[in-house]
Chain A
Amino acid sequence: MTTSKELSIALTGNPNCGKSSLFNVLTGAHQKVGNFPGVTIEKYEGYLDYRGYRIKVVDLPGTYSLTPYSPEEIVTRKYLIEHRPDVVVNVIEGPNIERSLLLTTQLMEMEVDFLVALNMMDEVEERGMKINTRQLQKLLGCHIVPTSAKKRTGLESLLDHVIRVGTGDITIQKNKLFFRSGLEEPINEISELLAAERELAAYNSRWLAIKLLESDREVYREIQRQPAWVKAEVVMQAALKDARRLYGSDPEELISEDRHSFIRGAMKECVELPKEKRTSLTDYIDMVVLNRVLGLPVFLFVVWAVFHFTFTLGAPVMEWLSSLFSMLAVAGGRYLPDGMVRSILLDGVLAGVGGVLVFLPNIVLLFIGLSFLEASGYMARAAFVIDRVMHRFGLHGKSFIPMITGFGCSIPAIMATRTLKSRTDRLATIMIIPFMSCGAKLPVYVLLCGAFFAPSMAANILFGIYLLGIAVGLWTAWILKSTVLSSDSEPFVMELPPYRWPTLGSVVFQAKVKALMYVKKAGTLILAAVVIIWVASNYPRSAVIEADLQRSRAAVEADAGLGAAEKEDRLSALEQSAQSEQLAHSLAGRAGMLMEPVIRPLGFDWRIGIALVTGLAAKEVVVSTMATIYSLSSDTDTGDLQATLRSDPAFNRATALSLMVFVLLYLPCVAALGVMKKEVGRWKPVLLYSAYSLAVAWVLSFIAYRGALLFL
């Protein structure tokens, strides 16, 4: 391994022990970090150069043990077995060292080359814990490097040790953990039998024997195919009987107990807890946040606060941006010569792209709010508080975490459902995530709320829209779970992490990344969509309408009985109506007309229809399409879409409400549909889901429209 100066290392450890944080500070990457178990769900690779070595670092999903439980944990074990990194770095959550060492004992059994990164040392010190690493090193037979990903300490030492282990400069002691009599003997016997199998040569035979006695399904399947199985099975049966006779239990439980008693011994020798027990800040916060009476109100308040924050704080900046774009539009209208270039720049690019960019502050604030929920540690608590409700609807408390992520973007949220073990729970959660209104839909709501409702009402209407999405989602889950996806629900056993302050740097960074992504999307996907829309709504042009316009114009010009001002008015009215006729004649217009009968009952005309179809590319495009089409059909180039909508006779409060409901519920964007297919594995459920969401959207929009017409 020393010939080429390359090394590969893998970060393993319990969920939430800081693997991704470490990965980020080591490689300079920006993997998602959050203070709840199960943030990382796939392996990620990164590289760094250190002392002439090119080190490949792999960040893996967290796992409590090497007998995996949920889909994302399988990734970790598979990686360790199949890819065999040169060095495994076992990241340990310092304050929670006792629980973390369980995984370490299993790495010892596997006899991989590993070392321990004792992470979160800053918290260990803060709590007044003392860990005797030298003694612990002796017991575990591997090197232990204290680190802190937050304070960036111990990183060089960690890398030095990685290189020394990787190059064989220091060897792992391969300490063995011995089990009680009645277990140790069969483990040895089976291990000898398996060691003779050539096909199993890649594995450590003692590890296989232990896993076999732990009734690990995959190892069992593998070994059953070997000739040695005949003899091994006899030994195993005897071991099972012995365990029952001697200890009244089964080998799996006994093995676990023995590992824990080893750990308990190590803890006694090496770890000193603070003398006096203090009530921690986490305890105090939880007394309120998880209080029997206050828990639910706090939960609702937190979710409400995030949306309020998004809307209220964003509004002034949005106004400002919006007037900036208006000024640009007015200036452009004055200086650009009439013609195609002017129209494509003003009605297309400026209206469409600008119309979307205006909402940048809201988007950034939304993501800041969500990342605060994720980083503070409230996420897992929300799952705890709301589990009962979720359970009622056939979901899992943990389903709630992807649902919250879904308020940002459906795609990572759909992928995050991998932390759910039961397939039916997972499917049901995937199917409801698109109803959790994603950030891309926010511009539509902000536009319409802002145009048709007073600011004090707007934030509440926005919150109401999100609640409606949650309600429809839960209802859908309930239907799914009580029909096609019925099964035993998944058990709920989850750890609550201590509260942690999100670091300002990471929040600012996240905000920057989201802002850049949004601007990039506006400059690429949305720009392209806008140009296509512009072309489709300008061509083909009708020569008949053009000729008509010329004729009536000449007639007005020739009319001697009109004053100059009156002439001007008449001409611009003519111009306007010809423009509208051309729009209706264009490709987009005709396609929209085809749809109109279907969406008419919802209060939508063909223009909204077109916007909805183009919104499948990305939901923000709904806004930019509307901006382009409305800008084309009006000749006042103010660039203010809200004002244009307000003055449009076909648009009123009822239409606005109905449109918000429809956008909330109808098909997710193409990218999200693709990810759904990938995670579900087949197209059929996705297509069924699409039909369902369209139907629900239609019915609820209809109700909203008719209701609003009656009451508003």
Chain B
Amino acid sequence: MRLSELQVGDKAEVTGLNVDAAIRRRIMDMGLIKGTRFKVLRVAPLGDPMEIFFKGLYLTMRKSEADGIMVERSGGVGDGMPMHTGARRRYGFGGGR
């Protein structure tokens, strides 16, 4: 699934970056790499740039950039799934922080 296909409120995890080399570098520099979990916060009033939130950072990007970011959707609004940004703990029970 592509980031641009997510709905507002969706939570997801990045699985791959299929974008231009230069823009991929910028996206990675921002900390959006494989395995990063984020939440789609909103779409701009005119429908184009979208805003996502991860690791305490509010990042905006155009849909054309979001098109190249492959993601796996992990939850929607208010489903209680944590948008944890640490190491993956999907299969962990308790333990760790």
Given contacts A252-B25, A491-B65, A496-B51, contact A295 B45 (CB under 8 A): yes
Given contacts A98-B55, A264-B87, A496-B60, contact A491 B20 (CB under 8 A): yes
**B28 at the binding interface (Cβ < 8 Å):** yes
User: 8 A-B contacts, Cβ less than 8 Å apart?
Assistant: A99-B30, A253-B34, A282-B58, A295-B45, A493-B59, A493-B65, A495-B30, A495-B57
Bitwise, A488-520 to B at CB < 8 A (1) or not (0) is: 000111111110000000000000000000000
Cα–Cα distance between A99 and B42 once the two chains are bound (Å): 21
**B6 at the binding interface (Cβ < 8 Å):** no
- B48 A391 Cβ-Cβ under 8 A: yes
**B92 at the binding interface (Cβ < 8 Å):** no
Which A residues between 401 and 434 are near B, CB-CB below 8 angstroms? 421
- A387 B44 Cβ-Cβ under 8 A: yes
- A256 B28 Cβ-Cβ under 8 A: yes
- B57 A493 Cβ-Cβ under 8 A: no
Binds B, one of A286-294, A477-485, A593-601: A286-294
- B62 A391 Cβ-Cβ under 8 A: yes
The 4 closest A-B pairs by CB, nearest first: A295-B45, A388-B46, A496-B58, A64-B29
Cα–Cα distance between A396 and B48 once the two chains are bound (Å): 12
Interface of A is mostly: helix
Which A residues contact B (CB, under 8 angstroms)? 64-65, 67, 69, 95-96, 98-99, 102, 215, 252-253, 256-257, 260, 264, 267-268, 282, 286, 290-296, 384-385, 387-389, 391, 397, 421, 491-498
- A253 B60 Cβ-Cβ under 8 A: no
Cα–Cα distance between A583 and B33 once the two chains are bound (Å): 73
| Residues of chain B within 8 A of A384, CB atoms compared | 44, 49, 51, 60
- A388 B28 Cβ-Cβ under 8 A: no
Cα–Cα distance between A257 and B24 once the two chains are bound (Å): 12
Closest B residue to A95 by beta carbon equals B56
- A387 B62 Cβ-Cβ under 8 A: yes
Which B residues between 36 and 78 are near A, CB-CB below 8 angstroms? 42-49, 51, 55-62, 64-65
**B26 at the binding interface (Cβ < 8 Å):** yes
| Residues of chain A within 8 A of B95, CB atoms compared | none
- B56 A98 Cβ-Cβ under 8 A: yes
| Residues of chain B within 8 A of A291, CB atoms compared | 45
A-B contact count (CB 8 A): 120
Of the candidates B45, B55, B61, the one whose C-beta lies within 8 Å of that of A493 is B61
Of the candidates A96, A252, A292, the one whose C-beta lies within 8 Å of that of B42 is A292
**B97 at the binding interface (Cβ < 8 Å):** yes
Of the candidates B25, B61, B65, the one whose C-beta lies within 8 Å of that of A65 is B25
| Residues of chain B within 8 A of A64, CB atoms compared | 26, 29-30
- B31 A493 Cβ-Cβ under 8 A: no
User: What bracket does the count of chain B residues touching chain A fall in?
Assistant: 35 or more
| Residues of chain A within 8 A of B35, CB atoms compared | 257
| Residues of chain A within 8 A of B87, CB atoms compared | 264, 268
Q: How far is the CB of A142 from chain B (nearest CB, A)?
A: 21
Of the candidates B17, B23, B25, B51, the one whose C-beta lies within 8 Å of that of A290 is B51
Cα–Cα distance between A51 and B61 once the two chains are bound (Å): 47
Closest A residue to B56 by beta carbon equals A96
| Residues of chain B within 8 A of A257, CB atoms compared | 33-35
Cα–Cα distance between A215 and B56 once the two chains are bound (Å): 29
- A491 B33 Cβ-Cβ under 8 A: no
Closest A residue to B35 by beta carbon equals A257
| Residues of chain A within 8 A of B86, CB atoms compared | 264, 267-268
Of the candidates A98, A215, A493, the one whose C-beta lies within 8 Å of that of B26 is A493
| Residues of chain B within 8 A of A497, CB atoms compared | 58
Cα–Cα distance between A294 and B29 once the two chains are bound (Å): 32
Q: How far is the CB of B89 from chain A (nearest CB, A)?
A: 11
| Residues of chain A within 8 A of B56, CB atoms compared | 95-96, 98-99
- A69 B22 Cβ-Cβ under 8 A: yes
Closest B residue to A272 by beta carbon equals B97
| Residues of chain A within 8 A of B51, CB atoms compared | 290, 384, 496
Q: How far is the CB of A95 from chain B (nearest CB, A)?
A: 7
Cα–Cα distance between A294 and B23 once the two chains are bound (Å): 31
Cα–Cα distance between A286 and B60 once the two chains are bound (Å): 13
Of the candidates B20, B45, B58, B62, the one whose C-beta lies within 8 Å of that of A492 is B62
Q: How far is the CB of A67 from chain B (nearest CB, A)?
A: 6
Closest A residue to B87 by beta carbon equals A264
| Residues of chain A within 8 A of B28, CB atoms compared | 253, 256, 260
Cα–Cα distance between A267 and B97 once the two chains are bound (Å): 12
- B62 A256 Cβ-Cβ under 8 A: no
Closest A residue to B20 by beta carbon equals A491
Cα–Cα distance between A69 and B61 once the two chains are bound (Å): 16
Cα–Cα distance between A257 and B14 once the two chains are bound (Å): 12
* 17 more CB-based (< 8 A) A-B contacts, given A495-B58, A498-B58: A65-B25, A95-B56, A96-B57, A98-B56, A102-B29, A215-B21, A252-B25, A257-B34, A260-B28, A264-B86, A290-B44, A292-B45, A387-B49, A388-B44, A493-B30, A493-B62, A497-B58
Closest A residue to B58 by beta carbon equals A496
Cα–Cα distance between A413 and B49 once the two chains are bound (Å): 24
Cα–Cα distance between A260 and B29 once the two chains are bound (Å): 9
